[in-house]
Structure 1
Amino acid sequence: MQQIKHGGRRPRPSSAPTIIAAMLCVVALVTAGTAWWMLRPQQKDALGHLAQPQSSSSTLNRDKAPTPKSQEHQKAAGDSPAAKASRAIATMSLDERAGQLIMAPMFAGGNPADLSALISTRHVGSVVLIGNWNNGTAAAKTAADALQSYAPSGNQLIVSTDQEGGQVQHLKGSGFDTMPSAVAQGQMSADTLRSSAKTWGGQLKQAGINIDLAPVLGTVQVKRSSNAPIGALNRDFGLDSNGNAQHGIAFVEGMRDAGVGATVKHYPGLGAVTGNTDFTTEGILDTTTTLDDEEIGAFNTTIKQAKPAMVMMSLATYQRIDSSAPAAFSSKIIDGTLRGSVGYDGVVISDSLSAAAVSGIATKDLGVRLVDAGGDLACIGDTSYVTPILDGIIARAQSDPAFAKKVTASATRVMTLKYQMGLAK
């Protein structure tokens, strides 16, 4: 403003010294301005460099000397169950890895010592208590403790049972509530069911059980009495897809509250078949279920929201999804849908591989087909099947590097679950 106001004035002539002094001032100003303009780009570059935290030099410096915060993050990642599982698997032999993919049966009234060699020598990593265990929590705990004594102290067993309620409750007697059927559970509010499941889970925990093979999430699509595996036995919550999902979430979370993992079953649902896959090969073709049906929707909602410890695969075949194989052997259903579209990265377990539904498949191939499709844990209801299934997995892995990688991936998922549950150290 002042320059504009006075800039039009011309200085009056003065003495020579004054003129010379003025000229020297002008020269000094020009020289200083030139020097400033020459230096300015360098200063700008230097400031610009400091303003770029992603420069290669700063990245290298961070790699060499991580900040405390990044060190904490790296440590947390390295201490995660998945990271620990990967390190554990890296030290295991093929036989040890394959053993983690087997769930052997322990029958009521049997001797735990009968499984000692399978656990200690063949590295079987999981057991299921089946049959009518009627002697209460103390007897079940004695058996579970004996089984655990055969396993390495740093890699304890997954010990499971079918404790659904109603007609499917394998552990009873002193210390165990008589659980209502799933249909009766469906009449509870979700909050009440979660509280009840926590109580039932606590009883399992006291008995040495760490995984419940429940709940059933099938949504019955046919006449209930004709739906032999689910509806006729009241094993479902008896609701629509949304209701079944909300009660499934409550059951899973209640078990988790008690420190017990839950297993949703039988993916993608047995609500549209007439035959029971445990006992027959007839009536186990589902001709109606698709990937966007409400029955599979109950599973997917529960899996995404509650993140169960396991998902059990059905042994029925789904004509409109993959007619080439039962769900437990279908890569389209396991890898493509359950792991791909739904995003489940936990343990995938089969329904009993000694069931009638898969009796036409060579025993040695049963575990192979499960793992090849993306499954992890072969649940077996007949002790005589354990060794052939285990040997079949090992033999295939020895001859097929691609399959051996799948064995490693499956064993890592099982071990991740064990670290999450405090079973591995």
Structure 2
Amino acid sequence: MTAAHPTRRTVLGGLAAGAAGAALVGSAGAASAATAPPLTAAGKRWVAATLAGMTLEEKVGQLFVQYVYGPTATTADDRNTALYGVATAREAIRKYHLGGVIYFAWSDNVGGGPQQVAGLSNGLQRAALSAGAKVPLTLTIDQEQGIVTRIGPPATQFPGSMALGAGRSTADARTAARITGRELRAMGLTTDAAPDADVNVNPLNPVIGVRSFGSDPTLVSRMVTAQVGGYQQDAGISATAKHFPGHGDTATDSHTGFPVITHTKAQWETIDAPPFRAAVAADIDMIMTAHIQFPSLDASGDPATLSQPILTGLLRDELGYDGVVITDSLEMQGVRDLYGDPEVAVRALLAGVDHLLMTPSVDASFHAVLDAVGSGRLPMADLDAKVTRILSLKHRRGVVASPYVHPGAVMTVVGTPSHLATADAVSRRTTTLVRNDDGVLPLAVSGKKVLVTGYGVTTTATLGTALGGHGATTTVLSTGTAPTDATIQSAVDAAAGQDAVVVSSYKVSAYPAQKTLVDRLRATGVPVVVVAVNDPYDVAYLGDAPTYLAAYSYSPVALTAAAAVVAGAVNPSGRLPVVVPVAGDPTQTLYPFGYGLHY
């Protein structure tokens, strides 16, 4: 299968279908725009006084949002020493006057549960407020939900953007953002790096996929607006639309390569721009850049993150955005190919960026920015404008007035029974039944023996447990993404004597042995149900497999919902939020936008 550009042809045609499908988008309620709280007179005085009292180093430090290692602000970690020259997060914040910190599991920030996260947040804020200009931090996390979820249970989980797109409910999208945002704020987080505003028009997209709400700009725009309202207006934290100017049509992962988007300016206006225009109209607090080359918008060959025509010409001037612009991670290869890390930091600021996210060579980049200001390459007036935007946002979002949270009260907000029940209800409205050719579904599993196999140890176990909750006796056998002949034979052997087989699939286009698994299981004569736990496009690569569900996520709530659909406890109501093209022929549509079966 070629990794060329299949989707402009497929989805530009599909956009016509999307226009018809747009009537479906708001069927469960429209979302109002999220008006950002204005900066009060007191806030303006605080910003002006704080800026006037800051040293050059403190101003430059506000531009940097970095990760730090450790579950507390005072945990000594050799990885901090390697990156910052000091052992603890507290020392790193003070040394570089950091404007923000982003949390990850791999940096040991979130593994101890919600109360540990709250304690870390308080400790980091104390470090920032006990020195120098005493400016609180922006504390950020990528909690998109679905496949990009940094904080797991007991925090409430949702199935992710494309699942919400399948559900078509802007009310549900807003609810998911409101609950996610309130739980993050209870743990001390001030910003979620969500929602994803990319329009996923490339089925082979390796980095966006189900992180997008879908392939129709109208659908994505409405969902983005809804989630901005949930995060900002309802939960009181900053939302971040990403990845500008649009990362939805690429077959290259910008984490490891340098994608090129070949859309014309007219196509950008039609496909990529609408969700970002919607985010701007909703007064979104932050917009994140993409490390992509977009020749029709800037012919220089620079990535959008370093492009003045894109970030200032398009985002600031044409779209009228006056909020904070933050880069995607500057550790990603897509932005590091052309220039060294220190020069990347300076060029991003010159292009129109305010926040530099995850600069890999911190000391060198910090001093490169200082030198750029000292030489006049980065005018002091521009630096002051960037810092003013950052300080203003911190004040407007209440971080200045209330930088700390109460760890003892965290669990009265995070993962409450009400939140969990709502997440289950939302998830049950997202599963899409794409094929039921033999009428196998709904499957009366109570008292039946069911083999659960396919992708993922945790995924198959979760599906097995969920089906067991409907009365099935389940056997669970994970076969992974690329099952060997021996593994496939084991699954075939395990199917003997079963009443049904449920197979979880994951990116079959990249891992075609999963088709062999499904074919061999079907040959046993036992009814086979495929549940796609990531991209809905798997159906195009599974031949004539007659029974196929799209769950859009391997999140437990999505799998539980899919199991309820299999068992007939839920009538599937999700509709495809993307066009599914024929495998190997992207000019042909296999399933159109809006397709979905019901019982």
**Counterpart of 2:67 in 1: which secondary structure?**
strand
**Counterpart of 2:152 in 1: which secondary structure?**
coil
Other-structure match for 2:66: 104
Change (3 A) 1:367 1:83: farther
CA offsets, 1:218-269, max 9 Å, x none?
11222x1x111111xx100114101101101111110111111100000011
2:279 aligned with 1:279: no
User: Where is the helix percentage greater, Structure 1 or Structure 2?
Assistant: 1
Contact 1:244 1:298 in 2 (8 A): yes
Contact 1:186 1:239 in 2 (8 A): no
Contact 2:350 2:378 in 1 (8 A): no
Structure 1 residue 80 displacement after superposition:
5.8
| Aligned residue among 381, 393, 397 for 2:373 | 397
Residue correspondence of structure 1 range 8-407 to structure 2 within 5 A? 79=41, 81-82=43-44, 84-107=46-69, 113=75, 114-131=88-105, 133-152=110-129, 154-174=134-154, 176-188=155-167, 189-222=169-202, 224=203, 226-231=204-209, 234-256=210-232, 257-281=234-258, 284-290=259-265, 291-304=268-281, 306-324=282-300, 325-360=302-337, 361-380=339-358, 382=360, 385-400=361-376, 402-407=378-383
Whole-angstrom distance in 1 between the partners of 2:48 and 2:313 = 23
Structure 1 residue 334 displacement after superposition:
1.1
Change (3 A) 1:110 1:116: closer
Change (3 A) 1:82 1:355: farther
Structure 1 residue 339 displacement after superposition:
0.8
Change (3 A) 1:245 1:92: same
Contact 2:73 2:124 in 1 (8 A): no
Whole-angstrom distance in 2 between the partners of 1:198 and 1:392 = 39
Whole-angstrom distance in 2 between the partners of 1:77 and 1:326 = 33
**Counterpart of 2:68 in 1: which secondary structure?**
strand
**Counterpart of 2:98 in 1: which secondary structure?**
coil
Change (3 A) 1:250 1:77: closer
Contact 1:169 1:179 in 2 (8 A): no
Change (3 A) 1:275 1:107: farther
Contact 1:219 1:236 in 2 (8 A): yes
Contact 1:213 1:262 in 2 (8 A): yes
Whole-angstrom distance in 1 between the partners of 2:149 and 2:116 = 16
The residue type equivalent to 1:119 in the other structure is I
Structure 1 residue 424 displacement after superposition:
2.8
Change (3 A) 1:108 1:240: farther
Structure 1 residue 315 displacement after superposition:
0.7
Contact 1:212 1:263 in 2 (8 A): yes
What TM-score results when the alignment is normalised by the length of structure 1? 0.76
Contact 2:196 2:211 in 1 (8 A): yes
Whole-angstrom distance in 2 between the partners of 1:294 and 1:126 = 32
Contact 1:108 1:129 in 2 (8 A): no
Whole-angstrom distance in 2 between the partners of 1:410 and 1:298 = 24
Whole-angstrom distance in 2 between the partners of 1:220 and 1:381 = 27
Other-structure match for 1:20: none
The residue type equivalent to 1:417 in the other structure is L
Structure 2 unaligned blocks of 5 or more: 1-37, 76-87, 402-599
**Counterpart of 1:370 in 2: which secondary structure?**
helix
Q: Which has the larger radius of gyration?
A: 1
Structure 1 residue 142 displacement after superposition:
1.5
**Counterpart of 1:408 in 2: which secondary structure?**
helix
Whole-angstrom distance in 1 between the partners of 2:336 and 2:362 = 15
CA offsets, 1:77-136, max 9 Å, x none?
871645532332122111111000000113565765522223123211100002353432
The residue type equivalent to 2:197 in the other structure is L
Structure 1 residue 349 displacement after superposition:
0.1
Other-structure match for 1:422: 398
Whole-angstrom distance in 2 between the partners of 1:227 and 1:112 = 40
Whole-angstrom distance in 2 between the partners of 1:424 and 1:203 = 19
Contact 1:104 1:124 in 2 (8 A): yes
Structure 1 unaligned blocks of 5 or more: 1-75
The residue type equivalent to 1:336 in the other structure is G
The residue type equivalent to 1:308 in the other structure is I
The residue type equivalent to 2:49 in the other structure is R
Structure 1 residue 307 displacement after superposition:
1.1
CA offsets, 1:349-400, max 9 Å, x none?
0000111112232111122111101110000064xx2222211111111111
Structure 1 residue 173 displacement after superposition:
2.7
Moved more, 185-194 or 240-249: 185-194
What TM-score results when the alignment is normalised by the length of structure 2? 0.54
